[in-house]
Amino acid sequence: MRGVKQHVTEIALILGMVTLFTALVLSLVGASPLDAFGHLIKGSLGSWSKFSRVLNVWIPLTLCSVGLLYAFRTGLWNIGVEGQVVIGAIGATAILRFGMEGGGQMHVWMALLLAMLFGVLWALFAGSLKVKAGVHEIFAGLGLNFVAMGLVLWVIFGPWKRPGIASMSGTQPFPRELWFPTLEGWRVSPFALGLALLVIVISAWLLYRSRVGLNLDAVGKNPRAVRLFGLSPSRYMLIAIMVSGALAGLAGGLQVSGVYHRLIPAISSGYGYLGLLVVMLANFRLAPVPFIALFFAALNVGSIQLPMMMQLDSSLAGVIQGACVLSALLVFGLRGLKKRRQSNE
Amino acid sequence: MSDFSLTILFASVLATAAPLIIAALGETITEKVGVINLSLDGSMLLAAMVGFMVSYESGSLVLGFGAAALVGAVIAIVVGLFGIYLGLLQVAVGFALTLMCKDLAYFLGNPYSRLQGPQMLSIKIPVLSDIPFLGPVLFQQPLIVYVALILIGAIWWYLFQTERGLELRAVGENPEAAYTRGIDPRRKQLLYTAIGGALIGLAGAAYSLGIKPGWGRPQGIEGLGWIALAIVIFGGWHPIKVALGAFLFAFLQVIGITLQGIWPSVPAQVFQVAPFPLMIFALVMVNLLQREGVQGWVKAHPMLQRFIKQLQGVPPRALGKSYHPD
């Protein structure tokens, strides 16, 4: 009971700090905090169609976040997840372009598979730089993110440019036959939702109930001891980062085949970086991830209203998300400090 | 490009490198004392915005730079308090701050987009600027370039030639030992993290008030904070080598713009992102040199050995670890 009470107090404390901070930021630009909060809520939960858009953000964000959990287990910061989403999207587009004339569902599933494979290879690249060449994964990942960004711009303006005009609006849209399957009248594909839920369930088992999860955990906590048991830390690190890359690639593939139906420069929408914040706020545990991802997705969609309704920049969503993570870190840190003080007495 | 000139090339490398040098030196001090401030990319952007906003409103460049330095220092103090005193992962705090400061900059700076504000002009140093070639390269630059060049020497001198510099490095290498010698490691860490942060803030304003004047979305300096962080590793935590790393990156950027003119068929985007992976590639090379197999090969070639020794750097031993007095 005490545990639950502590959790509730902490969450209330975090939300209180975030609300205060956001209100302060809003009043700095002379905007009414109440109006802004109202638009955020109405813009994300106000109608079924708006909520469908939230779910469309939730799917890739959850996939990225769950993937990151695997990498974090082994102590790796897979900051390259952003680039892995982009590369996955490029992989999916490559297959879908083959199906432009008379293609079908076969192409869509092949596209998702290639997206995952591309994500895995891109992640393996960053992982090998870390394990073999000793480059910190944050810099390897960031370098590869820049390369992925360059690649997507190059294909859109170069080999895959729209007939006639190459522009930031992306490649030629795919015909309906090449869209990720959905149901009539649904703005978010229930199959994509199911896929994301399936990934959560499988990961719950893999991370917390299976031998693989146990080994990943051991690698992250004590790589030296793990060697005594005959396990190779670098092999588990590579496995973890590859799973991370596969899920990020899948997110990229779904963005192309299920949401935008073409390749655009901002195909990742920053969900890779945002996923890192989700996982930090979840304190690196799986259970809170889907809920935090839903909250963050709602903020992203709701903030689209701000430029139209209040002439404010939509980056307010990012300010709130960052404030959430920093407040949570503060609360976790104070809790740890208290514990250390008590054990010293 | 027919009007290609070495003078313009070197002058623009120097100007492009200046803010990067200041930011990387700020991070060098921070890491030398054992703290990682990963917030560079966001804090430089927020400082750039605040610097522009303050000097636009006040008409004073000095106030703008001061405000930017203050912003950088405050963000660094947050990293310090969370990391040093609460014992949180410094990397996590820094990363969250990076993303939040970036969005905060775009949110608060929205009304100041695409405005014409005050900016630093080049200062011609009399007599010296008349020297052929060297004059236009070295002595016709905005003030911030001179500041950057002076800082390289000043920080090297402080770190390696003064008592306080020795204490700073001692805390970064072995805080326990420093503590037994009567130094409070956590206070030193917070102090130098704040000073490093102030330099990072200055670097941000150097862009918005001089090198890339103005504010807008995108500002065009995204990613440079990460490069500054990579340059600190590339330079082996040594101020002079760190500055050389900044020159190398600036050279790659400037040469990219030049090459774009020569090969118009290659999309411009390729040249814009190319310096980033090249810098990471440089990091890989530096790391590979430290491998045992390579070391054996190097020993057989004494001429190479002297050169390669220069490229190697060792991180401060207590880097990123929070010190808890018991």
Total domain count, chain B: 1
Total domain count, chain A: 1
The answer to whether residue B310 is domain-embedded is no
The answer to whether residue A87 is domain-embedded is yes
Q: What is the ipTM of this complex?
A: 0.91
Count of CB pairs separated by less than 8 Å, A with B: 137
pLDDT of residue B322: 78
The answer to whether residue B175 is domain-embedded is yes
Residue B314 in this model has a pLDDT that exceeds 80: no
- B176 or A231, greater pLDDT: B176
The answer to whether B63 and B54 are in contact (CB under 8 A) is yes
The answer to whether residue A157 is domain-embedded is yes
* Percent of chain A at pLDDT exceeding 70: 99
**CA gap A208, A195 in Å, rounded:** 20
Picking from B7, B37, B24, B8, the residue whose alpha carbon sits closest to that of residue B244 is B24
Q: Which of A76-80, B40-44, B301-305 has the lowest mean pLDDT?
A: B301-305
Give B139's pLDDT tier (boundaries 50, 70, 90): confident
pLDDT of residue B1: 38
The answer to whether residue A232 is domain-embedded is yes
State the CATH number of the domain containing residue A235.
Answer: 1.10.3470
The low-confidence residues of chain A, meaning pLDDT below 50, are: none
Give B266's pLDDT tier (boundaries 50, 70, 90): low
Place of tokens 């060098």: B28
The answer to whether residue B58 is domain-embedded is yes
**CA gap A303, A312 in Å, rounded:** 9
Tell me how close the Cα of B41 comes to any Cα of chain A, in angstroms. Answer: 12
**CA gap A177, A96 in Å, rounded:** 10
The answer to whether residue B301 is domain-embedded is no
The answer to whether residue B47 is domain-embedded is yes
SS3 B123: strand
The answer to whether residue A89 is domain-embedded is yes
Please give the structure tokens belonging to residue B22: 């200041």
Say yes or no for a CB contact (<8 Å) between B100 and A158: no
pLDDT of residue A229: 80
Tell me how close the Cα of B240 comes to any Cα of chain A, in angstroms. Answer: 22
Q: Measured between CB atoms, which of A28, A147, A333 is closest to B82?
A: A333
Say yes or no for a CB contact (<8 Å) between B280 and A319: no
- Tell me how far CA of residue A83 lies from CA of A87, A318, B114, B129, in angstroms: 6, 19, 30, 46
Give B295's pLDDT tier (boundaries 50, 70, 90): low
Record the pTM.
Answer: 0.91
Tell me which residue range forms the domain holding A186. Answer: 56-303
Rounded to an integer, the average pLDDT of B282-289 is 73
The answer to whether residue B269 is domain-embedded is no
Give B292's pLDDT tier (boundaries 50, 70, 90): low
Place of tokens 């930090």: A280
Tell me how close the Cα of B232 comes to any Cα of chain A, in angstroms. Answer: 12
pLDDT of residue A312: 92
Residue B211 in this model has a pLDDT that exceeds 90: no
Tell me how close the Cα of A262 comes to any Cα of chain B, in angstroms. Answer: 20
Rounded to an integer, the average pLDDT of B258-265 is 76
DSSP conformation letters of B131-187: STTHHHHHSEEEHHHHHHHHHHHHHHHHHHHSHHHHHHHHHHH-HHHHHHTT--HHH
Q: Please tell me which residue of chain A has the smallest CA distance to B280.
A: A143
Could you read off the pLDDT of A306-342 as tens digits, one per residue? 999 999 999 999 999 999 999 999 999 998 888 888 8
Residue B40 in this model has a pLDDT that exceeds 70: yes
pLDDT of residue B4: 58
Say yes or no for a CB contact (<8 Å) between A329 and B96: yes
pLDDT of residue A168: 75
Buried b / exposed e across A40-73, counting CB within 10 Å, b at 16+?
Answer: beebbeeeeebbebbbbbbbbbbbbbbbbbbbbb
Q: Measured between CB atoms, which of B88, B99, B229 is closest to A329?
A: B88
Q: Measured between CB atoms, which of A136, A146, A277 is closest to B96?
A: A277
Across all residues in chain B, what is the average pLDDT?
Answer: 87
Tell me which residue range forms the domain holding B35. Answer: 6-220
pLDDT of residue B310: 67
**CA gap B265, A248 in Å, rounded:** 32
Rounded to an integer, the average pLDDT of B6-18 is 88
The answer to whether residue B82 is domain-embedded is yes
Chain A interface mutation, best of B71, B93, B103, highest count of A Cβ atoms under 10 Å: B103
Say yes or no for a CB contact (<8 Å) between A333 and B86: yes
Instruction: Show residues of chain B in contact with A25, CB under 8 Å.
Output: 104, 107-108
Give B2's pLDDT tier (boundaries 50, 70, 90): very low
Whole-angstrom distance between the N-terminal and C-terminal Cα of chain A?
A: 25
The answer to whether residue A12 is domain-embedded is no
Handedness of CA B219, B221, B223, B225 (dihedral sign): negative
Q: Which helix (H) or strand (E) holds B188?
A: helix B185-206
